[in-house]
């Protein structure tokens, strides 16, 4: 390509980009990591190259150094809470927990300084520390609140860390915590798996690696795609609203309209791997998939069976009024949708019952909507009926059925002339003037309605 052609191509691309509506990027949430650090007396225990507290201080310092560049960004903050470091045992003080470094930017040096100054001396109030940690996160509309608990022992007070953790997650205050056990008995693993995602750091090298893994998972989102499967099990269904909820708190985490990209494949989403999701696909009826796990660093496929067909309600030019149709699952009273005639609506393939709100109503049962097909429903054109009573009064129009007459519509009590659109059939009007105080003055008149006809019914 010569130079002029290259310039022309750039100008053309610039014009195209200028012509497109500008898409605003979704704001990235603020990730806030609170370290809850064990400063209890047991941290003086020997471990590998020194005491547990010495090894933890050194390796956490190295990890914090690696985060120095990241914390300069506006969407990342750290804080530090320590327990068991203020009052010695005995006696036991289960209130020994304190936020030493609150959330803020550029506070890594302060966190390192506090960690180095910790002198283990007290007990292990894990539940109490988690409960207090809820207030360590200032109110925020778009934040990921993460706790990393680093401990060498189990709860030593009366609290239940599992109950507290689940409550905070359910309230949407925190995401599922990480728990790193330092040189702990393998039997303690079960005690912490209900608190959060547990990592067993059996030695120094494992602790160092685990710190890296936990921080990576806390900071990195991962990709996923939602496959809306047709009747052949292929991801061809699309253009449907989808809402993703946090499975624990049931708070909305993402809402989208499903899209196929230019390759005809489900578009890629960026999701938080720390969240277990519930998904509701807003087809008619909706399809729900619960407890979706997103694996860090892996492109996750989320599938939902959503084979759809179309229901066309064909209108007629002679229908002067809009007609609605109530759509229900076959044999059920639940209303799925109210669809207007003259429209086409997608439904999950299956069998439905229709209640068409004409006068009189038309009931159609067992209507099959096949996948990737259109089912068309049309009704006869109505007839126009003008009812003249000469005076206001009380009454109704009834339609003739095989086993007698059925009510269609009441007459207005204040009008002498009324117009109705009625489906073809045989009818009867029963009327009594409001000035007549005896039933003997009731009047009856039968009439017939044909499609497209215009009928005048007089009651003298």
User: What H or E segment, with its residue span, contains residue 341?
Assistant: none
The reply to whether 20 falls in a domain is no
What pLDDT score was predicted for residue 460? Answer: 79
The CATH number covering residue 178 comes to 3.40.50.410
What pLDDT score was predicted for residue 105? Answer: 84
The reply to whether 351 falls in a domain is yes
Do 273 and 176 share a structural domain? no
Do 213 and 90 share a structural domain? yes
Do 214 and 96 share a structural domain? yes
What pLDDT score was predicted for residue 3? Answer: 41
The CATH number covering residue 326 comes to 2.60.40
Sign of the dihedral through C-alpha 135, 137, 140, 143: negative
Confirm if 64 and 87 have CB atoms less than 8 A apart. no
> What are the residue ranges of helices labelled H in 315-460?
none
Number of domains in the chain: 4
The reply to whether 9 falls in a domain is no
Q: What is the DSSP string of 396-420?
A: EEEEEETTEEEEEEEPPSS-SEEEE
Q: What is this structure's pTM?
A: 0.85
**Exposure b/e, 431-456, CB count within 10 A at least 16 = b:** bbbeeeeeeeeeeeeebebeeeeebe
What pLDDT score was predicted for residue 71? Answer: 59
Please measure the distance between the N-terminal and C-terminal CA atoms of the chain and give it in whole angstroms.
91
**Rounded distance between C-alpha atoms, residue 338 and residue 325, angstroms:** 5
Owning domain of residue 281:
221-305
The reply to whether 1 falls in a domain is no
Please state the length of the chain: 460
Do 100 and 199 share a structural domain? yes
- Among 362, 378, 394, the domain-final residue is 378
Cβ partners under 8 Å of residue 460, min gap 6? 390, 443
Do 371 and 270 share a structural domain? no
Do 290 and 155 share a structural domain? no
Cβ partners under 8 Å of residue 147, min gap 6? 33, 34, 36, 130, 133, 174, 177, 178, 196
- Among 329, 356, 378, the domain-final residue is 378
Return the SS3 of 346. Answer: strand
């029963």: which residue's tokens? Answer: 430
**Rounded distance between C-alpha atoms, residue 281 and residue 238, angstroms:** 10
What pLDDT score was predicted for residue 13? Answer: 42
- Among 378, 395, 421, the domain-final residue is 378
Do 55 and 165 share a structural domain? yes
The CATH number covering residue 454 comes to 2.60.40.1120
Tell me the pLDDT of the chain (460 aa) as tens digits.
Answer: 444 344 334 333 443 344 445 556 667 889 999 999 999 999 999 988 889 999 999 999 999 998 887 755 678 999 999 999 999 999 999 999 999 999 988 899 999 999 999 999 999 999 999 999 999 999 998 999 999 999 999 999 989 999 999 999 999 999 999 999 998 877 778 889 999 999 999 899 999 999 999 999 998 889 999 999 999 999 999 999 999 999 999 999 999 999 999 999 999 999 999 999 999 999 999 999 999 999 988 999 999 999 999 999 998 766 657 899 999 999 999 999 999 999 999 999 999 999 999 999 999 999 999 999 999 999 999 999 999 999 999 999 999 999 999 999 999 999 999 999 999 999 999 999 999 989 999 999 999 999 989 999 999 7
Do 299 and 173 share a structural domain? no
Confirm if 338 and 294 have CB atoms less than 8 A apart. no
Do 402 and 259 share a structural domain? no
Do 124 and 36 share a structural domain? yes
The reply to whether 89 falls in a domain is yes
The reply to whether 226 falls in a domain is yes
What pLDDT score was predicted for residue 307? Answer: 98
Do 169 and 45 share a structural domain? yes
What pLDDT score was predicted for residue 73? Answer: 64
Do 344 and 392 share a structural domain? no
What pLDDT score was predicted for residue 9? Answer: 43
Cβ partners under 8 Å of residue 131, min gap 6? 159, 164
The reply to whether 188 falls in a domain is yes
């Amino acid at each position: 390509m010569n130079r002029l052609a290259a310039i022309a191509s750039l100008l053309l691309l610039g014009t195209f980009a200028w012509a497109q509506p500008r898409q605003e990027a979704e704001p990235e949430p603020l990730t806030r990591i609170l370290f809850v650090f064990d400063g209890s007396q047991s941290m003086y225990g020997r471990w590998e190259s020194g005491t547990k507290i010495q090894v933890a201080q050194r390796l956490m310092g190295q990890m914090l150094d690696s985060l120095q560049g990241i914390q300069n960004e506006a969407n990342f903050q750290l804080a530090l809470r320590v327990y068991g470091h203020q009052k010695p045992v005995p006696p036991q003080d289960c209130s020994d927990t304190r936020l030493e470094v609150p959330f803020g930017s550029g506070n890594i040096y302060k966190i390192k300084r506090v960690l180095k100054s910790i002198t283990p001396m007290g007990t292990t109030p894990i539940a109490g520390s988690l409960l207090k940690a809820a207030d360590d996160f200032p109110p925020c509309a778009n934040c990921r609140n993460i706790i990393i608990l680093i401990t060498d022992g189990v709860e030593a007070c009366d609290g239940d860390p599992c109950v507290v953790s689940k409550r905070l997650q359910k309230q949407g205050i925190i995401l599922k915590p990480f728990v790193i056990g330092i040189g702990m008995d393998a039997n303690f693993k079960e005690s912490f798996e209900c608190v959060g995602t547990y990592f067993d750091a059996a030695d120094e090298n494992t602790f160092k690696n685990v710190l890296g893994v936990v921080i990576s998972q806390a900071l990195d989102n991962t990709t996923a795609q939602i496959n809306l499967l047709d009747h052949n099990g292929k991801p061809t269904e699309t253009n449907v609203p989808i809402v993703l909820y946090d499975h624990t708190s049931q708070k909305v985490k993402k809402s989208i309209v499903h899209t196929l990209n230019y390759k005809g494949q489900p578009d890629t989403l960026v999701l938080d791997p720390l969240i277990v999701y519930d998904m509701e696909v807003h087809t008619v009826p909706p399809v729900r998939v619960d407890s979706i796990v997103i694996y860090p660093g892996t492109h996750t496929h989320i599938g939902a069976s959503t084979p759809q067909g179309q229901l066309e309600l064909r209108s007629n030019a002679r229908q002067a009024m809009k007609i609605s149709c109530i759509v229900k699952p076959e044999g059920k009273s639940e209303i799925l949708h109210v669809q207007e005639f003259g429209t086409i609506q997608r439904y999950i393939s299956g069998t439905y019952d229709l209640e068409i709100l004409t006068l009189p109503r038309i009931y159609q049962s067992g209507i099959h909507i096949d996948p990737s097909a259109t089912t068309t429903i049309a009704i006869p054109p109505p007839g126009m009926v003008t009812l003249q009573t000469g005076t206001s009064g009380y009454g109704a129009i009834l339609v003739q059925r095989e086993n007698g007459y059925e009510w269609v519509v009441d007459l207005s009590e204040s009008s002498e002339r009324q117009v109705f659109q009625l489906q073809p059939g045989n009818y009867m009007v029963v009327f009594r003037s409001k000035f007549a105080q005896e039933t003997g003055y009731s009047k009856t008149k039968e009439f017939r309605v044909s499609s497209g006809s215009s009928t005048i019914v007089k009651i003298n």
